[in-house]
């Protein structure tokens, strides 16, 4: 325990202390807990920590004059640790949310003397979230013993935060000045709470100045957070639009069922998750997403190939009929999914290695699932660029797209290439669905949320241009998030749509126009 002496730790906890912490109103209990924790730190008392943990676990009963720790239906004296008889009139200790929060902070405070830097750091963070002037002796003692510079800085902030509620205006003023150096959202929240209660004019002025200083320090985190969110949204749009760049950009097919092909990939991911949960060991669950990537690609590619061979092949060169037919197919696919999986959304869990994130700034956390989706989109883009630009299949696709009659005269089976290209575009839509399943629920209407945006990405980027698709996806994603910060989600969508209309009016060929005789024909 904390700052233990060479001898065995003394037991500072008394029956009166234990009863005061367990019985009475919340304010009285909190005062008793604070006194007990302070005494426990001074005397390296291990019984206090055990009793507080028992209260947090709802394993304490009280009588008129004592508290009893319960374990396996047997009573234990919290001071001596000996078994005692539980009276019939003993009542369970009830902890509301305030008491649970106080118990959590008290248990954290007892870890301030831990040899582990992480444990001490977590304890200081807990104290910062619930500052109290009554805990100043604990913090001062911890400051005197602390060697780690980072933890000392946090302890100093905890001391200032605790003084913020002092009865002495001079102490509150000094605390407000000191807290201005902490550029964190939690500190800003503490200052705002104090500002709403402050009566002293000088302290109030300093609180406002400190809040302004913190806002100036947090602004870059907010800007970078918006940029990251925009890139994240852009990478999702890129994944969705890459498949459409083939089926619409290269083949000229207006496929209104593209969103449903993406939905199939998401449900394929859900199926793989279910298979891993039911038939494989729990330790293997984290690998379900790796297995879901090829499965989602193949599932959507096969559906896309069947769609092309059964319907699309008869409608090349007839855009209106293609649009209506694929819209009808999208309704059929949605109803089929509702029949198989139900109309409600299904949840797809993130593997453990996708949980958490990277904390770059106090107000900037990059979630791993978003970071990995950006990386995944870049890998899919690189693979698709290699396939189209460097492989035999890509050569045939480009040849058929640029001049179908000549490609046929050169011995290319154009019907087979059409099927392969459509299956490839559909498979990439399935990969987009696999990625989307990691940031939201999977439902029958999943594809409807992205089909319009993906068409806008392809049109703005330039029909048939992969580079344009990348620029358009990232640009629209960042623009959308910037506008959301200023005007809200609905007005941001409207503003982006207006900008796209103006852009297409000025440059109908998109960011990158097709060049060559085929484009001029």
DSSP string, 201-257: HHHHHHHHHHHHHHHHHHHHHHHHHHHHHHHHHHHHHHHHHHHHIIIIIIT----TT
Rounded CA-CA distance 18/33 in Å is 9
Q: What percent of the chain has pLDDT over 70?
A: 92
**pLDDT value at residue 512:** 64
**pLDDT value at residue 390:** 87
**Mind giving me the DSSP string for 390-438?**
HSHHHHHHHHHHH-HHHHHHTT--HHHHHHHHHHHHHHHHHHHHHHHTT
**pLDDT value at residue 431:** 92
| 395 belongs to a structural domain | no
Q: Which two tokens stand for residue 174?
A: 């000094």
pLDDT at 499 over 60: yes
Q: What count of other Cβ atoms lies within 10 Å of the Cβ of residue 222?
A: 14
If you average pLDDT over residues 268-284, what whole number do you get? 89
For 83, counting Cβ atoms within 10 Å of its Cβ (0-12 exposed, 13-18 middle, 19+ buried), the class is exposed
If you average pLDDT over residues 435-453, what whole number do you get? 84
**177 confidence band (pLDDT: 50, 70, 90):** confident
**pLDDT value at residue 266:** 92
If you average pLDDT over residues 146-172, what whole number do you get? 82
Please write down the long-range contacts of 197-204, taking CB distance under 8 Å and 24 or more positions apart. 198/172, 200/169, 200/172, 200/173, 202/169, 202/173, 203/169, 203/172, 203/173, 203/176
Rounded CA-CA distance 14/1 in Å is 18
pLDDT at 465 over 70: no
What is the number of domains present in the chain? Answer: 1
To the question of pTM greater than 0.75 for the whole model, the response is no
Q: Which two tokens stand for residue 457?
A: 């990405």
List Cβ neighbours of 178 (8 Å cut-off, separation of 6 or more).
156, 157, 160
pLDDT at 467 over 80: no
pLDDT at 82 over 50: yes
Q: What count of other Cβ atoms lies within 10 Å of the Cβ of residue 200?
A: 13
Q: Which residue has the tokens 């902490």?
A: 182
pLDDT at 8 over 70: no
- Contact of 34 with 134, CB cutoff 8 Å: yes
If you average pLDDT over residues 68-74, what whole number do you get? 85
Instruction: Give the gyration radius of the chain's Cα atoms.
Output: 32
List Cβ neighbours of 216 (8 Å cut-off, separation of 6 or more).
none
Q: Which domain holds residue 448?
A: 238-374+413-514
pLDDT in tens, 283-302: 788 889 999 999 999 999 99
H or E element: which one contains 83?
strand 83-84
| 27 belongs to a structural domain | no
**270 confidence band (pLDDT: 50, 70, 90):** very high
**124 confidence band (pLDDT: 50, 70, 90):** confident
Rounded CA-CA distance 207/172 in Å is 9
| 51 belongs to a structural domain | no
Polymer length of the chain: 521
**2 confidence band (pLDDT: 50, 70, 90):** very low
- In sequence order, the β-bridge partners of residue 76 are 69, 83
pLDDT at 490 over 80: no
Q: Do the strands 83-84 and 357-361 form a parallel or antiparallel pair, or are they unpaired? A: unpaired
Dihedral sign, CA of 432, 436, 442, 444? Answer: negative
**pLDDT value at residue 519:** 45
**515 confidence band (pLDDT: 50, 70, 90):** low
Beta strands in 262-396 (DSSP E): 357-361, 364-367
Q: What is the pLDDT of the chain when averaged over all its residues?
A: 82
Q: How far is CA 25 from CA 53, 62, 388, 513, in A?
A: 19, 14, 72, 74
pLDDT at 3 over 60: no
Rounded CA-CA distance 473/459 in Å is 11
**pLDDT value at residue 250:** 64
Q: Which two tokens stand for residue 19?
A: 């009863």
- Residue 261: closest CA among 275, 240, 245, 246: 240
pLDDT at 9 over 70: no
Rounded CA-CA distance 332/59 in Å is 56
| 499 belongs to a structural domain | yes
| 482 belongs to a structural domain | yes
User: Half-sphere exposure (CA, 13 Å, Cβ side) for 312?
Assistant: 30
| 266 belongs to a structural domain | yes
**pLDDT value at residue 264:** 93
**235 confidence band (pLDDT: 50, 70, 90):** confident
Rounded CA-CA distance 6/15 in Å is 26
Residue 92 has what DSSP assignment?
Answer: E
**pLDDT value at residue 514:** 56
| 387 belongs to a structural domain | no
pLDDT in tens, 208-222: 888 888 888 888 888
**517 confidence band (pLDDT: 50, 70, 90):** very low
**pLDDT value at residue 45:** 67
Q: How far is CA 118 from CA 38, 123, 332, in A?
A: 22, 9, 55
| 201 belongs to a structural domain | no
- Residue 231: closest CA among 377, 358, 435: 377
pLDDT at 25 over 60: yes
Q: How far is CA 388 from CA 365, 377, 384, 398, 493, in A?
A: 36, 16, 6, 7, 33
Rounded CA-CA distance 392/182 in Å is 59
């Amino acid at each position: 325990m904390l700052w233990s002496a060479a001898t065995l730790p003394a037991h500072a906890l008394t029956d009166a202390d234990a009863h005061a912490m367990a019985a009475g109103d919340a304010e009285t209990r909190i005062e008793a807990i604070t006194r007990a924790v302070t005494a426990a730190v001074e005397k390296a008392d291990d019984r206090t920590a055990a009793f507080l943990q028992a209260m947090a676990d709802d394993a304490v009963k009280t009588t008129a004059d004592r508290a009893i720790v319960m374990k396996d239906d047997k009573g234990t004296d919290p001071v001596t640790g000996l078994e005692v008889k539980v009276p019939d009139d003993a009542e369970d200790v009830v902890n509301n949310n305030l008491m649970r929060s106080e118990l959590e902070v008290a248990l954290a405070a007892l870890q301030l003397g831990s040899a582990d830097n992480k444990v001490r750091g977590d304890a200081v963070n807990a104290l910062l979230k619930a500052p109290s002037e009554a805990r100043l002796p604990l913090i001062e003692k911890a400051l005197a013993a602390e060697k780690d510079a980072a933890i000392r800085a946090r302890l100093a902030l905890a001391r200032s935060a605790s003084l913020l509620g002092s009865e002495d205006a001079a102490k509150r003023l000094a605390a407000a000045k000191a807290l201005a150096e902490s550029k964190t959202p939690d500190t800003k929240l503490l200052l705002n709470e104090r500002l709403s209660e402050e009566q002293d004019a000088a302290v109030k002025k300093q609180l406002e100045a400190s809040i302004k200083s913190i806002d100036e320090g947090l602004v870059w985190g907010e800007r970078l957070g918006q940029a990251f969110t925009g890139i994240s949204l852009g990478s999702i749009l890129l994944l969705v639009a890459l498949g459409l760049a083939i089926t619409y950009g290269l083949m000229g097919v207006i496929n209104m069922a593209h969103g449903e092909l993406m939905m199939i990939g998401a449900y394929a991911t859900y199926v793989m998750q279910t298979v891993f949960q039911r038939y494989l060991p729990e330790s293997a669950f984290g690998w379900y997403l790796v297995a879901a990537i090829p499965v989602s690609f193949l599932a959507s590619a096969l559906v896309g190939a069947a769609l092309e061979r059964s319907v699309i092949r008869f409608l090349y060169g007839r855009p209106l009929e293609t649009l209506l037919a694929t819209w009808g197919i999208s309704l059929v696919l949605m109803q089929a999914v509702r029949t198989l999986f139900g109309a409600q959304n299904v949840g797809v869990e993130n593997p453990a290695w996708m949980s958490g994130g990277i904390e770059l700034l106090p107000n900037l956390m990059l979630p791993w699932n978003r970071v990995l989706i950006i990386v995944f989109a870049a890998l899919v883009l690189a693979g698709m660029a290699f396939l189209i630009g460097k492989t035999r299949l890509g050569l045939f696709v480009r040849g058929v797209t640029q001049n179908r009659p000549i490609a046929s005269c050169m011995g290319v089976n154009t019907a087979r290439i059409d099927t392969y290209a459509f299956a490839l575009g559909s498979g990439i839509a399935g990969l987009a669905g696999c990625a989307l399943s990691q940031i939201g629920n999977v439902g029958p209407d999943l594809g409807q949320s992205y089909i319009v945006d993906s068409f806008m990405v392809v049109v703005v980027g330039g029909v048939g241009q992969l580079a344009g698709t990348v620029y358009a996806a990232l640009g629209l994603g960042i623009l959308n998030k910037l506008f959301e910060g200023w005007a809200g989600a609905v007005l941001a969508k409207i503003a982006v749509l207006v900008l796209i209309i103006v852009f297409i009016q000025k440059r109908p060929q998109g960011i990158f126009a097709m060049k060559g005789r085929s484009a001029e024909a």
